[in-house]
Structure 1
Amino acid sequence: MMALTALLPLGFLFVILIGIPLCVGICVYRDAKARGMEPVLWTLVAVLVPSFIGLIVYLIVRSSHTASVCAHCGAAVQDSFVCCPSCGAKLKYTCPACGKPVDDDWKLCAHCGAELDADRPRTVVRREAGSLKWLWIVLIGIALVFVALILLAMLNYTTAFHQGMTTAVIDIA
């Protein structure tokens, strides 16, 4: 029972120093990659900046990045791209009147007011990047491990306390 007590601090240390940053890093990497952001950079920021400040900054910045993909090849593209860097497909139509780029969902050109063809096919598909639902599942799992370690420590302490009391009662008798 004493060896188990010696391992409890190591379990806490492992969960705090390795488990939580590893889970946060995996979640941020996958989410940043799905959103077309720089995954390695954001993973390093989220994991290495202390007190979860890096993770908070990432969560604020990520909200402005939606994942868009080319309708032709499925490659990740940014809203500012005019053509797909992977397949070269045109990502923005141009207004027939003024020649300026227009978005897929526009009915009128914002630059000159000309009516746009409503039947034109979509060039960019916006998809919602994966939610961080599984991050919450992992964090809840880590919290449950914490609770289990604390309960185990309390059980070990009370067992040792009662054994000590039994020994004290026998010594008195």
Structure 2
Amino acid sequence: MNDTKNKKLPLFIGIPAVFLLILLRFGLYFLKSDGFSGLSMLLPVLLLCFLIFAFCTSAFFASWVYQDCKKRGDDPALWTTVVFIAAPFFGLLIYFLRRSELKRTCPACGRRISFKANYCEECGIPIENKEENAMMLKQETHHLPLIAAGVISMALMLMCLTGFIVSAAGNGVNTDPASNDRIWNLGVINMNSNSCSDGVWKLEFQSASSGFIKEQDMKIVDADTQMLHADISCKTVPEGATLVLWLVQGDMAQSINVTNLSEPLEYPLNEFENGKIHVRLQINGVKDTVSEISIQERQ
């Protein structure tokens, strides 16, 4: 009894720990990204539910495989790990292709033999318990609650995934550089450095997906006497590539092409109000770019 409790203890500790890690991951991402502004709340909820149901699906099917392995004399720990890690679809497929035949113990020599065998391959004794063999074969589908729970979890997982894709393809993700909400990028950027210290935003990147936007919130203290200072150099500019600087505050949005600046840009801010302003760089194919942007007093 104690051995059984000790074997189940990792499950009781591990499953809640995984759920806590998932929730912690979402919480940290929420704080790092200033919340989910610009992203429909339905998307993170659906994604979280998808991960939870995917975990449950793998856990239920892995539990069934564990019981099935014990019944067939296979290594339950190995196959349970394979099914859980390889995801339920591929893991179960591999298991069903490789699992051993259902066997019983020879009453004479103790060798594991097939339930369908007419005699023992080791000692040659005839096997006459046909009725018992047939009954055991009929009971081959065991632990049906685990299978049912796995199928239900899988259906819910697919529903959440479908809802996530449909929502993301619709209006769930904000990619408008003129929006006052946070921008969510669907691409990637290869950065060397990105920092903001003492009101100076320094960004250096090698390349990025077309349309990728990096942004930094800055503060206007006196719009009538301050200006935006931008020192930007694009070393590699393929044909048709651009780098656009966006200044967004509420309903006010201004864009400036800063692809080929011959000298630092000094842009007046008197059209804006005092307070927070979104400063964005929309990357459209330029590479090997170094930028330094700040809000300064007019000379």
Q: What's the TM-score once normalised by structure 2's chain length?
A: 0.31
Higher helix share: 1
The structure whose RCO (Cα within 8 Å, separation 6+) is larger is: 1
Larger radius of gyration: 2
